[in-house]
Amino acid sequence: MMTSDASKTTALSALLMLCLSAGAMFSMTTQAAEASQTVTNTPASSETLSTRQQAIPLMAAFMATSDMPSLNAALNQGFDAGLSVSEAREILVQLYAYVGFPRSLNALNELMTVVQARKQRGIADAPGREPSRAIPVGAELLVAGTANQTKISGAPVKGPVFEFAPVINQFLQTHLFGDIFERDNLDWQSRELATVGALAATPGVESQLRSHMLASLRVGLSAAQLRQVTDLLKKHGDAQTAERASTALAQALAASGK
């Protein structure tokens, strides 16, 4: 996610490239990828986020800024709204690809603290489940990941960076969109809500944030729901995070014609 030091260095470098480039792939697709295409295997759009969904971008934003007290509160909010332990864990694991292993590990430690504290108060949160199907391997993983990437991007992904460093797209297809997005214990709308929250809280990745706003529309989230995300970030986060989210959403809606 090599036995010699050189191999370890190569693996870590590749993962760092993945984290930095996971959003960039969207902004380098063709104009066809800008079109709003709803992924058919996701729930229909709604005008409001569920209380469970509302907690997800907040969890992600506070993880990205290492704000553990606020993350603690957001995790409790999510559990009170019906988020399972498995879903919360999956969100924090996935986000290592966007904000790095250290923040992911710290957030998972906070999650363990929250779960234990709730147990001590007599609260039995739903454990949730692990993925219900086996994750493909080898060539089948590449096929599955490429299909997932194309659905979320709106078109096959291509661009100068992938011609310059083809291996980065292979990592994206096999690991991010294969190993991670093939895990069906968290739906794609939740995955995109988490990604949007984390990127909004991270300065300097505005183009990737805009691309994930477009991806959120493709997986079935509505413009009204995404505006609600920006409102939540403004109310519970900081002004800069909310402003980045609002600007990215406006650009995404203009690009998609909504």
Q: Give the H/E segment covering residue 257.
A: none
The type of residue at 7 is: S
- What is the full DSSP assignment across 104-144? HHHHHHHHHHHHHHHHHTT---------SSPPP-HHHHHHH
Q: What is the pLDDT of residue 12?
A: 38
pLDDT tens string, the chain, 258 residues long: the values are: 334 444 443 443 444 334 434 444 444 443 333 333 344 345 556 899 999 999 999 999 999 999 999 999 999 999 999 999 999 999 999 999 999 999 999 999 999 999 999 999 999 999 999 999 999 999 999 999 999 999 999 999 999 999 999 999 999 999 999 999 999 999 999 999 999 999 999 999 999 999 999 999 999 999 999 999 999 999 999 999 999 999 999 999 999 987
DSSP-assigned letter for residue 179 = I
Q: Cα(172)–Cα(25) distance, rounded to whole angstroms?
A: 9
How far apart are alpha carbons 72 and 92 in whole angstroms?
13
SS3 content of the chain, % helix, strand, coil (to 5): 70, 0, 30
pTM of the predicted model as reported, rounded to 2 decimal places? 0.83
